[in-house]
Structure 1
């Protein structure tokens, strides 16, 4: 099932980026990662739930700092894609290999 999600998301580059610009969906995924959520895959949906080990309390300053750390504002597609790949699939290169 996870491989089906990986294949689907890899076929949907425009869900993540418009040209070099990350989309809102991308920023939201990063926010979920930053603040301790984990993906929950099923055949019908991808949802997110809190990770009981999360230690970071959500706040706007932390959110902005962490976006800068992954070079979101610079449109660093490789870095941003690696963060999302690791968050969703536990692999840095799970997404984006066929994206130009």
Structure 2
């Protein structure tokens, strides 16, 4: 609540994009902005890239936890997704 005006704003979903970049932060693909914050990252990826195209067949890919299950539908040279952080640990492990 804004103390000066007394107006209460409801939570708003933010814009989401799919971004494909290199390790040195060079952007190769910037997807269309989607207004629904409810849409999962993996669903956006599936809508933008058909698995029949095999675009990532020769690529080493590093994903975040928003893309769990991607290895079942798409083929990669190698895919690395971090494990979920254990409760008492502060380190993030990389899945080989």
**What's the TM-score once normalised by structure 2's chain length?**
0.27
Which of the two has higher C-alpha Rg? 2
**What's the TM-score once normalised by structure 1's chain length?**
0.26
- Higher RCO structure (Cα 8 Å, ≥6 apart): 1
